[in-house]
Structure 1
């Protein structure tokens, strides 16, 4: 309701200094309050007045307040704030419960001046008050979303908001306790770096982008200016990790600092994790060590196209050597003292043997989280398992790997619009060099079909998708070129 909106501020014209004056957000709201004669009856009267909707109903405003008279407040007298439609000097506005309480001398209806200030208003409230209507539109309104990495809030402001970027950052800093630094991207990701890093300016707080963040029960540390991180993908990271089975092998082709690889390793999944960015590779290794999953997560720093086939070869060779991970039991088990020697028994109970998890010879999943270009990597799957057909069905129970490739496509116009999904399927087919791939059902990855799942909207007409499909046999077992065969 308008009573609880902040005062309207008229920001300075573009080109003039735009300053956040927090004192201008002070506002007095004239209300009525029910003074309860007996303090012990506060709870009872609160229930009665709530039932007949006499009480105030506004976010972040308490129903029970101290009496407006300082002398009575010092004695512990309390009041119940009433709905704004109720006026102290107008009994015709009182509800039956209030009237009955006054007649019984159990209540007194008194004026109450509710003082609101800058601390009360939410970020959205302040933005509506400050930003002029001409810089807003029906789609954006004002900047509300940001990517957060540890203590850093990363904005991506459109041009009309740039004159107000400092004040936007100040308010964002004020209203988010976990944020200490606010930055704004000044170039598209990848424009100045092939590693998906970006140029930025600091809008508020210290220029400190060394962050620590937690996601999916793992701790990640990194320099946000040198690697790619997107907190809005946490649910997508979790979704894919939940598809992996402990003991199987996943190849993460564009692993970044490990948002897929490290939680998967913690689950007991072997991950061959690669990133082309040397800084991402360094932080990937550090984060694997920090989260105690180095037995399962092996970092690499190679071009993804080369790595796809090389990973398949490396996993096969490592499995043939008999490599494994060793589970040493829980920390509680390791700390448990052996029982005292009992001379009446032959020996004390020995500690349990560490459990070995052998490395399988094949990769079960490939993850390709580079939505701008991941589908261009698909030709690298040709000849993935050339000459190793005996590893897979029908010779064994093992199926060919699933690929989860993220990509961009248009936004569906409505719930029945399949055009963007079919576009993704066609691009997957072209990348693999096959025909006849079908659009599969969501939640199912069938032979010869591609499951296309919406991940998130990234722009008004641009959506991120995840295309999941099984590598076709004619692709996996195709002959490699002489150059490819020499590098295997």
Structure 2
């Protein structure tokens, strides 16, 4: 894993601070040999999450560059004999020499988007605070956080990072007090994103609109509590709507069963 640059103590997010340039060694190889090369050099490849081992060659359209692990270093491209490159395995050295391949330098630039929320937060928050607050509960488009007091100086920054790293989230909120009201709701503040606290949640198989301040964990126990009505109290339109829901329910249960298998 390649950690992001460390910027302890900042309270305002500057994404440009999280850029890192990697200078790597790479094997320049004809395109037809790529599959064989990747197999033989498996132990010596770059092998980093979300990054490719094979990149284009700026100097040729008929060759590619196979990135090598960071331990080898870009100095390998400065004329060091293949036999003297100690980090390379014996198999890799023999293949490179047999095929008459060359080692070149390659530059890879990592940006803020590359790292996860957890990795960025670890590079920002003081180490003595312990585990970073990257977990949250989701209600529709809203991410609910419950930040401890020691994280409050960074609450806006934390909220923005959570928003950036979760494409389905458009609002990040922090709970301000305990849940002690009759209707199980709570006060909260918006840390990042839009101030829209009405969330749409699909539950078995109904589509229900929630206030974002409702305790979503209680949804399953509250939703079945639907009042009973005599048949004569239903309007024709309501009957058709109910019939539609009854038709959807078996399909919903079947889909849920397939997903659980």
- Give me the TM-score of the superposition, normalised by structure 1: 0.44
Give the number of aligned pairs. 231
User: Does residue 103 of structure 2 align to residue 109 of structure 1?
Assistant: yes
Alpha carbons of structure 1 residues 95 and 226: separation in structure 2 relative to 1, 3 Å? closer
| Alignment of structure 1 residues 52-451 onto 2, 5 Å | 53-67=43-57, 70-72=58-60, 75=61, 77-87=63-73, 88=76, 89=80, 91-134=85-128, 136-137=129-130, 141-190=131-180, 193-215=181-203, 218-225=205-212, 227-230=214-217, 255-256=221-222, 258=223, 261=224, 273=226, 292-293=245-246
Which has the higher Rg, Structure 1 or Structure 2?
1
Which digits, 9 at most, give the CA deviation of each residue in 1:300-347, with x for residues without a partner?
xxxxxxxxxxxxxxxxxxxxxxxxxxx89x99xxxxxxxxxxxxxxxx
Q: Is the 8 A contact 2:28 2:103 kept in 1?
A: yes
Contact 2:139 2:212 in 1 (8 A): no
Q: 2:258: which partner in 1?
A: none
The list of structure 1 runs, each at least 4 consecutive aligned residues, that deviate by more than 2 angstroms after superposition, is 89-94, 104-107, 217-221, 223-228, 288-291
Structure 2: where are the runs of 5+ without partners? Answer: 228-237, 252-261
CA deviation after TM superposition for structure 1 residue 54, in Å: 1.1
Alpha-carbon separation, structure 2, partners of 1:223 and 1:161: 28
**1:197·1:227 contact (CA, 8 Å) conserved in 2?**
yes
Supply the RMSD in Å over aligned alpha carbons: 2.9
1:219–1:153: structure 2 CA closer, same or farther, 3 Å change rule? farther
Q: In proportion to residue count, which structure has more helix? A: 2
Higher relative contact order, structure no. (Cα contacts within 8 Å, ≥ 6 residues apart): 2
User: Structure 1 pair 153/226, CA: closer, same or farther in 2 (3 Å)?
Assistant: closer
Query: Where do 5+ consecutive residues of structure 1 fail to align?
Result: 13-17, 238-254, 262-271, 275-284, 294-326, 332-488
